Structure 1
């Protein structure tokens, strides 16, 4: 069998053909599975995400008395979450209707916001973890003397870094099908797709994998280094080690729960298209799972307020101060615990870091 024949067979068998056009090919990658699972999942993501991030936005804008670089990074994470949350209602509507009714332009913007949020959330959570790493392990490094304006510059650079690869999505149509079978998809290749779309899809899959693997490696490195550093200086007191590591642990858990499934299913699609182009069933299954796993990506927007609470003592105190009296029962307990511990804080280096933060916040 010639290579041309193989290529034609690959197109016919692995490329979803809307409505089974042409009388053959793989089953269409429509909304059979995600049409049942995604609407309730995305609705929960939107409700929890809007509530949590609205409170976070209110705290950052109106209750926080001083800002430091860490809080600036977290505030940018709030902005990234809102980008995703405003795009989800249209996606929910399309899944419930069974087709996309908002036109090509809104489709492009919708997909751009969805995937930019994933990239921005990953990048900003990684920056927060690295900032924590330097505070604990290298307290005298000049990185810890970052000013608020330098943090603004770092945030702007992160946004430029994550948005630039996604901008080409706005230049091409991602509408699939016609009439009442119209769908707004980016990560499924159709037989009639142009070469530009095929290249964009390949770039998207590469970014999806790299955006997970590289930050995950950084997060694990930061967590392990913080753990070993504190164990060496705490003489085997595991409680204090866990307390100092809670930021990295929370970020790693949120990161893996929300972003690992999409990465694994994307790799699965990649492997099948490369090594088993005749396996229609596997391609269809992994493509459906990739779409469904996006629901976990957006769960990140609902879980990020937990990251804010664990990552910023200033945010935590402002939130407690804003709560009604009966809900503030844990605040006095925290104060008593802090006063009774006296000078037995997590470690000497972290105390110096906290003093440095207070000085920068007061300036």
Structure 2
């Protein structure tokens, strides 16, 4: 996942393996990335599209009143759609075994993939912090922000996460030619520019830091909300549980999606630095890093869970839409009986009309 000059990459955008040509370990074939990542990415796209299309529909057509919390969640939907535009290209790359979309789309694809991760982490953290202030410090100025101020906060978050990724757009990440063309960010080739080596190093550090600090903030917010509500709402345990669902959902999604990729990032880093000739360790962590990046992009499918727990209005709109769909389905089935049933019903109605006419 985090290559050095004596490593070579598979068809996955970030996975690395030792290069036997440089006297290292024998390479793990491209087939490994194809077998593991193709079904994982496909599941991510299907579930992500289903959940986020429903979420977008509710945000655009069902929410009558927008609040700052809704704006933050809506931006999370935007971040998820950025990812869903990128993964089909990666699936095609895995199935073909090479990249066919050119240098421009390669740069944009890598930029959006990494920006999605940072944006999802940042926006989920903002949602948790907002809920923390609403519960623990209800009179704080942060809880009384207007929608316009919330929009400025969202813009600031996007600028914060986009800025470190902009250099990705400045360099060519295409390696090889014809049927060996690959779109790779972590380029371990000897001709790699010094600027890209520095960029990769910055990316490594950022991947770890953007997980550790938000996770610490999420845990702090969750613990403070729990202790505050238990101290002030002793007779109302239901309110404690409801308030904790938001932070619990965010921490759960955050951990499932981003913890594995952070751990494997550190793992490859440690193995490369301290045990560079340990082929068994590296061949073990390569499949783990592949799976971790599949989970990393699963956040687009799990984020709707955050929407449901974070907004009562979103939850009510979703339940209303589901109940309406169920009622419409029942009515449709009731209005399309069999021909014999229709005839008997009509006959009963005719008899009833005659009886009423006789009296």
Alignment partner, residue 179 of structure 1: 178
Q: Kindly tell me: are residues 50 and 200 of structure 1, through their superposed partners in 2, closer, same or farther at Cα, counting changes over 3 Å?
A: same
Aligned residue number for residue 272 of structure 1: 271
**CA distance in 1 between partners of 2:30 and 2:43 (Å):** 19
Question: Take 2:71 and 2:325, find their aligned partners in 1: how far apart are those partners?
Answer: 30
Asked if structure 2 preserves the Cα contact closer than 8 Å seen for 1:49 and 1:85, the reply is yes
The alignment status of 1:321 with 2:320, answered yes or no, reads yes
TM-score, normalised to structure 1, is 0.82
- Equivalent residue, structure 1, for 2:307: 308
Contact 1:101 1:182 in 2 (8 A): yes
Following the alignment from structure 1 to structure 2, what is the Cα–Cα distance between the partners of residues 29 and 162? Answer: 33
SS in 2 for 1:16: strand
Deviations 1:216-268 (A, max 9, x none): 00000000000100111122765442222000000000000000000000001
The equivalent residue for 1:73 is: 72
5+ long unaligned stretches in structure 2: 11-17, 328-359
Q: CA deviation at 1:278?
A: 2.8
Contact 2:55 / 2:304 at 8 angstroms: preserved in 1? yes
CA RMSD of the aligned region, Å? 2.2
Partner of residue 142, structure 1: 141
Report the Cα offset of residue 167 of structure 1.
0.5
For residues 257-314 of structure 1, the C-alpha deviation after alignment (integer angstroms, 9 at most, x for no partner) is: 0000000000011112222233344345434532331111111000111110110011
Please give the alpha-carbon distance, in whole angstroms, between the structure 2 residues aligned to 1:291 and 1:203.
21
Q: Secondary structure at the match of 2:8?
A: coil
Aligned to 1:110: 109
Rg larger in structure: 2
Contact 1:16 1:29 (8 Å CA) reproduced: no
Give 1:99 deviation, angstroms.
1.3
Q: Distance in 2 between matches of 1:217 and 1:233?
A: 24
Provide the rounded CA distance (Å) in 1 between the counterparts of 2:177 and 2:235.
65
Q: In structure 2, what is the equivalent of residue 46 of structure 1?
A: 45
- 1:197: Cα distance to partner? 1.6
Structure 2: how far apart are the matches of 1:43 and 1:77?
Answer: 21
Match in the other structure for 1:252: 251
CA distance in 1, matches of 2:137, 2:175: 52
Q: 1:64 maps to what in 2? A: 63
Q: Hey, what does 1:352 align to over in structure 2?
A: none
Conserved 8 A contact 1:57-1:78: yes
**Alpha-carbon separation, structure 2, partners of 1:135 and 1:69:** 11
Question: Do the aligned residues in 2 keep the contact of 1:29 with 1:188 (CA within 8 Å)?
Answer: no
Sort the Cα spacing of 1:27 and 1:167 in 2 relative to 1 into closer, same or farther, 3 A. farther
Shift of 1:165: 0.2
Contact 1:16 1:191 in 2 (8 A): no
- Paired with 2:145 and 2:310, the residues of 1 have a C-alpha distance of 17
Displacement after TM superposition at 1:62 (Å): 1.3
8 Å CA contact retained: 1:15, 1:191? no
State the match for 1:15 in structure 2.
7
Q: Between Structure 1 and Structure 2, how many residues are aligned?
A: 317
**Aligned 8 A contact 1:176 1:182 in 2:** yes
**Contact preservation (8 Å) 1:104, 1:174:** yes
Render the CA deviation track for 1:290-342: whole Å, top value 9, x for unaligned: 233111111100011111011001111122222343648xxxxxxxxxxxxxx
For 1:267 and 1:312, the matched residues in 2 are separated by 35
